């Protein structure tokens, strides 16, 4: 019996037997996607079960697989959960396939079966990459396939502990007429993989490509369907990669893992603070160290600022790795509350190491780096600066102050400037000179030496 398909408007739900450019119901353009008529979400889980009491459900400790990479285990919340569906997103060429092939080798050597399904490379191409990465596990099976029904058959036949689909944009369902990579194909393929994962207890990894234009149905379409969403960040031409968890039903979110891309593949960075501060100049105005919390991990980061006389009527502002609007706001605080005349100066603020900061604890560090460059005054290289700054110039307390100070102490810093409200939490830490400040004026007096 032939499967019937319909086209449904994503905005209003209007149904049509054929595709239309404009929806007659709501007037939206290009909003129709193909769906299978009569199919419902009830087909996702075919096994019948009765409700159970929460206390009667037993969990085994071996419900997680270790990947062999501590950084990835941290991001996943302790390891790979059986029957989970994990989406790994990121720009093309950033290292998604390399990472998954590396963990396949580690899991395979732990006597677990892995099925690696590639829709973009042939078996020989994957073999060449595996040889470069020195991967030789006997439990790793490779197949080049794009038909989701055949992939489902392979999973049922080989019963792998982990299945990897690289990538979801190449997988298609035969009874849909739309091209692979379209919204309907990606959604239907992911629904099938979710059913397979839950029914067979197989952990499934899905690779999702993201384009700059967002033309392909990328990970945004899939985020609500999967259990965990991981994003690779970093520039292709830089060696460091950051793997960030955006969604995780089995662990905390906003955790990050840091890797370095080498000839032999991705290598874990065990001490990210030391990595971020490598090559830091000394005795130069406009540089200061702050401590950012990435999930549960404190990380020391260097902030750099350059303030120079503008040659045009309109001063230029630029921020890299930090919110531009936040930098402009903090410069306004410097002008109004401290009296710095920055209206005729260009200002450039940069986060060294290619990482992005989005927490307010770096506010005081931004202000100190800008003031240091403006006054051409050096900041003590063994000092870190922490604190949130308000519009009235006050320095507010921040969270996880003990972890931040301990991380600075571990890397050889001897002085820390923090909000006065946080002094009680770090009074027992030895070996660190802790200075509490109430406002920006007081902080600059300490940091710039009067």
Residue ranges for the known binding site are 90-97
388 φ/ψ angles, rounded to the nearest 5 degrees: -95, 140
Contact residues for 425 (Cβ-Cβ < 8 A; gap 6+): 401, 402
Contact residues for 255 (Cβ-Cβ < 8 A; gap 6+): 74, 75, 77, 244, 245, 248, 294, 295, 296, 297
Contact residues for 170 (Cβ-Cβ < 8 A; gap 6+): 119, 120, 146, 180, 181
Tokens describing residue 37: 């008529």
Tokens describing residue 213: 């234009």
**Cis, peptide link before residue 191, omega less than 30° from 0:** no
User: Which residues sit in the known binding site for ATP?
Assistant: 90-97
Q: In whole angstroms, what is the distance from residue 398 CA to residue 418 CA?
A: 9
Q: At CA 11, angle to CA 173 and CA 172, rounded to 5?
A: 10
393 φ/ψ angles, rounded to the nearest 5 degrees: 90, 0
Largest separation between any pair of C-alpha atoms in the chain: 84
β-strand partners of 349: 305, 319
């Amino acid at each position: 019996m032939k499967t019937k398909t319909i086209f449904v408007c994503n905005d209003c739900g209007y149904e049509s037997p054929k595709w239309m450019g404009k929806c007659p119901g709501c007037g939206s353009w290009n909003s129709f996607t193909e769906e299978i008529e009569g199919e419902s979400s009830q087909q996702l889980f075919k096994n019948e079960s009765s409700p159970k009491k929460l206390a009667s459900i037993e969990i085994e400790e071996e419900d997680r697989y270790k990947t062999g990479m501590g950084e990835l285990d941290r991001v996943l919340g302790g390891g790979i959960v059986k029957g989970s569906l994990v989406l790994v997103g990121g720009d093309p060429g950033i290292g998604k396939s390399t990472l998954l092939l590396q963990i396949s080798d580690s899991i395979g050597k732990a006597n677990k079966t892995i099925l690696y399904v590639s829709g973009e490379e042939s078996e020989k191409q994957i073999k060449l990459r595996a040889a470069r990465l020195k991967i030789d596990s006997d439990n790793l099976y490779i197949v080049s396939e794009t038909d989701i029904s055949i992939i489902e058959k392979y999973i049922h036949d080989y019963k792998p502990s982990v299945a990897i689909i690289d990538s979801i944009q190449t997988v298609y369902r035969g009874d849909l007429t739309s091209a692979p990579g379209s919204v309907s194909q990606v959604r239907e393929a992911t629904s099938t993989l979710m059913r397979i994962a839950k029914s067979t207890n197989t952990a499934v990894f899905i690779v999702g490509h993201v384009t700059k234009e967002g033309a392909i149905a990328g990970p945004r379409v899939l985020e609500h369907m999967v259990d965990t969403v991981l994003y690779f960040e970093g520039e292709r031409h830089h060696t460091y990669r950051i793997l960030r968890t955006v969604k995780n039903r089995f662990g905390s979110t906003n955790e990050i893992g840091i890797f370095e891309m080498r000839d032999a593949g991705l290598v874990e960075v065990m001490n990210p603070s030391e990595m971020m501060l490598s090559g830091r100049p000394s005795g130069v105005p406009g540089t200061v160290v702050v401590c950012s919390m990435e999930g549960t991990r404190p990380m020391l980061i260097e902030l750099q600022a350059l303030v120079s006389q503008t040659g045009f009527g309109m001063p230029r502002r630029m921020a890299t790795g930090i919110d531009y609007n936040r930098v402009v706001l903090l410069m306004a605080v410097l002008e109004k509350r401290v009296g710095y005349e920055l209206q005729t100066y260009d200002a450039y603020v940069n986060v060294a190491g290619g990482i992005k900061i989005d927490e307010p604890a770096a506010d005081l560090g931004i202000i100190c780096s800008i003031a240091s460059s403006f006054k051409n005054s050096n900041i003590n290289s063994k000092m870190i600066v922490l604190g949130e700054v308000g519009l009235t110039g006050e320095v507010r307390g921040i969270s996880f102050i003990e972890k931040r100070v301990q991380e600075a102490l571990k890397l050889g810093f001897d002085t820390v400037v923090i909000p006065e409200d946080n002094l009680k939490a770090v009074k027992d830490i030895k070996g660190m000179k802790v200075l509490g400040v109430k406002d920006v004026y007081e902080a600059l007096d300490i940091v710039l030496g009067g």
